[in-house]
Amino acid sequence: MRTFEVPTFYRSPLISAIKQKRKAGDKLKKDFTPTCLDMGPLQIYLARHFGFCYGVENAIEIAFRTIEQNPDKRIFLLSEMIHNPLVNADLQQRGIRFLQDTKGKQLIPFETLTAADIVLIPAFGTTLDIEEKLRSIGIQLESYNTTCPFVEKVWNRSESIGQKQYTIVIHGKPSHEETRATFSHAAAHGPAVVIKNREQAERLARYIRKEASQGEFEIEFAGQFSAGFQINEHLKRIGVVNQTTMLASDTQGIADYLKEEVRKTNADPDAVADTRDTLCYATSDNQSAVMGMLETKADLALVVGGYNSSNTSHLFELLTEKFPTYYIDGPDRMESKNLIHHFDFFQGTEKTTGNYLPEEGPVRILITSGASCPDAMVERILEKLASYYNVSLPYGEWELNG
């Protein structure tokens, strides 16, 4: 797999060395146990896989190269490059402006753009409608499109099953940029509907079984289905794809459930498309690494990443089932040894918690981060924790130049 030119200030020599050593000893990625940094009174357990993925590094490389090569041009991002506040702030400080927010609300009208401007498409991709609007202005997109290839893989899968007269069922968050983009591309090739969780899959099954009406469907799934969608016609043959950052177990469970529901009403063995899992490798690896942490004896867990990051939120969901887990977007959220500001994903609000670190050691802390979180940020968190217990990070235990 190719490497990318990512700014060094996002890198961590310590974490790079740890990752390189783990990779050398486990080339087939079968060992998901965490890496222990034993500092006596403080013991940190780092997930086997975490941090920047292929798609994120690709997007960052393109963005910073574009800034360097076009000092005299106006450069815009369609929306956040990735879901990480530090990276997006860095890009804004270098003059990039956002055209939309993450929900698709317009911040700068497209009408103010000219053919001389540069517009970067974020890693999540965008809709066909927006692509057409930008091209109609004369904006050239190909060189500045940072859409993750694993997202494009889902689009290709959707196109393939749509052309075979299957309805495309997308497991994803309806308001997420990636899901909006995938829905747009899928709907261009066949009927499409978005379901956000198992509960909505079970609601959709009512329409597969013809237990509810077209009118009820249109109310219940408003904004989540393609134009002209007819439940009596379009739920006979389906194929399930997903937003690449969803929980793998959730997607598989939904696909298996809907497969059985369709087969109750359609005896055709080809009524359900043979869609392989469309999670990206990084999402899968990071989730497996967290599963590999669950048997570790620990006092708490820290999950690091943007609060609107889908893949990061799922890591939090997995860990919070077993450990007191704090979701933070940077080291500044740790105000002191006794005070932390963190995100309550389930309530969608930020909270402040006192006495979150045990007084007596050894203190055992699990740490992971999302696919859009720089390793340098995780290292700064490690440094902060080490300072609370008057210990030093074990740089000498790792071959930093290995």
Full set of structural domains in the chain with CATH: 8-53+282-397 (3.40.1010.20), 54-144 (3.40.50.11270), 162-265 (no CATH)
pLDDT at 267: 82
Q: Are 372 and 82 in contact (CB under 8 A)?
A: yes
Helices 85-93 and 54-69, axial angle in degrees (round to 10): 10
Q: How far is CA 167 from CA 98, 194, 262, in A?
A: 34, 11, 12
pLDDT in tens, 19-57: 999 999 998 888 999 999 999 999 999 999 999 989 999
pTM for this model (two decimals): 0.90
pLDDT in tens, 336-394: 999 999 999 999 999 999 999 998 879 999 999 999 999 999 999 999 999 999 999 98
pLDDT at 29: 87
pLDDT at 277: 63
Task: Collect the ranges in the chain with pLDDT lower than 50.
Answer: 400-402
- As given in the structure block, the two tokens for residue 172 are 């994803």
Q: Which residues are catalytic?
A: 178
Q: Which three-class secondary structure state does DSSP give residue 156?
A: helix
Q: Are 120 and 62 in contact (CB under 8 A)?
A: yes
pLDDT at 280: 78
pLDDT at 401: 45
